[in-house]
A and B are shown apart, each in its own frame.
Chain A
Amino acid sequence: MQSRWMAVFAIAGLIGSAPPARAHHAFAAEFDVNRPIKLRGIVTKMDWINPHSWIYLDVKGKDGKTVTWMIEGGSPNVLVRMGFSKDALPPGSEIVVEGFQAKDGSTRGVGKSLAFADGRKLFLGGSAPGANGETEK
């Protein structure tokens, strides 16, 4: 951890200024870095709520049982401004989520990377203009 901080400070020093990124809450308090998850499942709904959006996902286990997971994402205000709508992720979509499970052991987690089954990333990663932060020319 120490070395990561050093790297960040070094970069900040070099370029002169880097405003800190602020999150609404401490992610490390909510999610467990020792419980990585990789889920493939069917989206049942998406809550467009602040401070964080939540994607509901039905995941079929090896035993054939279906477990519902909830995955935390970014502020819906930003998504709306980027042009996404409730139709951007329709129920029935198959997605793959990589992230970390909640520390309380519930079937909730944070999505570090979210992609459709065919590999297209959700939201900015190719599913819409503005992908990967590029602007329309």
Chain B
Amino acid sequence: MIRRLMPVALAGAVLAALAFPAPADPPLRTPDGQPDLQGIYTNATVVPLERPANLKGKEFYTEAEAAENAKKVLGISSWERLGSQAEVHYNMSQFGLDLSQVKVALSLRTSMVVGPEGRVPPLTPEAQKRQAERGARNRGHQFDSAENRPLQERCIMFSTEGPPMLPAGYNSNLQIVQGRGYVAIVQELIHSTRIIPTDGSPHLAPGVRQWMGDSRGHWEGDTLVVDTRNFNDKTAFRGSTANLHLVERFTRVDRDTVLYEFTADDPATWVRPWTAQLALAKIEGPILEYACHEGNLGLPHTLNGAREAEKAAEEAKKAPK
């Protein structure tokens, strides 16, 4: 039996909840009395991170506009969204990878970034310089070795994994589990589990740096607040430094929805802190294993392809003109 797919129709309840977020009544509790965030969710969405220019100043859609926008976005095929990659990509819809083929969490927001601008603030001059230098360092060496390839191609971190957690494009699924003194979050892409102490323990010493930073949580009313520092300098969320300070807030607004909000602050990167908000919509489980390393034939193919291209270029040089 094929499980039913639920694209857009879920709208009403979620839209209403997100328009007027309020704690569920009565609040859901774990057996030991914590607000209950547990479940399997998707953060797939039709809402872009940044507000499109034509919606300047408009932070929220009406319900009718939101439904209309969702219909339009879901009507765009993956071929169009793939852009230049479409040329040699496998057929997305044939493999169930169109956004229209999964459940999406709807919202009245016109962008995930909140506020009148709805845009990520400008990079500081220092960050612009840093980004240019990063780009220049790898230019012409992108295919030298596995270490020159992006983290997600190497199955280390997915580009949307964060924190902060953003939709992955496909398999945008995550699970929240709570125990006494801990909250754990596993994202299907790529494989890491964040284990977040909520026992009041302090952050790790500043010298200890981790791929996903060091997260510590506490409850403010029914909202889980997670403070993350101690990032390494390799993940660079939108150009951030290892000093990125992230505060995430998880609030269950109804039985099927968690409102997820994050504020990113890194004075060496952005001219001011910024906040984004998205919905996590409950889905039927389970989360599936994503053993990325085991099947990662793409990386050797990419490097071998580059070696072949180099050989061909050498041959072409030698060939009589």
Which of A's residues lie within 8 Å of B, judged by CB?
Answer: 1, 4-5, 7-8, 11-13, 15-33, 47, 49-54, 72-75, 77-83, 99-100, 102-106, 108, 110-114, 121-125, 128-130, 132-133, 135-136
Interface flag for B302 (CB, 8 Å): yes
Interface flag for B309 (CB, 8 Å): yes
Choice from B2, B78, B91 contacting A113 with Cβ under 8 Å = B91
Which of B's residues lie within 8 Å of A, judged by CB?
Answer: 1-7, 45-48, 52-55, 69, 72-73, 76, 78, 80-101, 110-111, 143, 152-153, 155, 159-160, 167-171, 188, 288-292, 294-299, 301-302, 304-309
Check if A29 sits within 8 Å of B81, measured CB to CB: no
Point out which of B1, B86, B91, B110 has the most chain A C-beta atoms below 10 A from its C-beta. B91
Check if B110 sits within 8 Å of A51, measured CB to CB: no
The 4 nearest A-B residue pairs measured at CB: A74-B95, A103-B305, A49-B295, A22-B169
Check if A17 sits within 8 Å of B169, measured CB to CB: no
B interface, by DSSP: helix, strand, loop or mixed? loop
Closest to B159 in A: A22
Q: List chain B residues, Cβ under 8 A from A18.
A: 48, 73, 76, 80-81
Q: A11-B80, A33-B88, A130-B96 are in contact. List 18 more A-B contacts (CB 8 A).
A: A12-B52, A13-B54, A16-B69, A19-B81, A21-B78, A49-B294, A50-B289, A51-B290, A74-B94, A75-B170, A75-B290, A80-B288, A81-B3, A83-B2, A104-B304, A133-B93, A135-B4, A135-B6
Closest to A20 in B: B81
Docked pose: A130 CA to B45 CA in angstroms: 20
| Contact count A vs B, C-beta below 8 Å | 229
Choice from A20, A23, A110, A124 contacting B96 with Cβ under 8 Å = A124
Q: List chain A residues, Cβ under 8 A from B82.
A: 21, 23
Choice from B2, B46, B97, B110 contacting A129 with Cβ under 8 Å = B2
Q: List chain B residues, Cβ under 8 A from A23.
A: 82, 85, 89, 169
Point out which of A114, A121, A122, A133 has the most chain B C-beta atoms below 10 A from its C-beta. A133
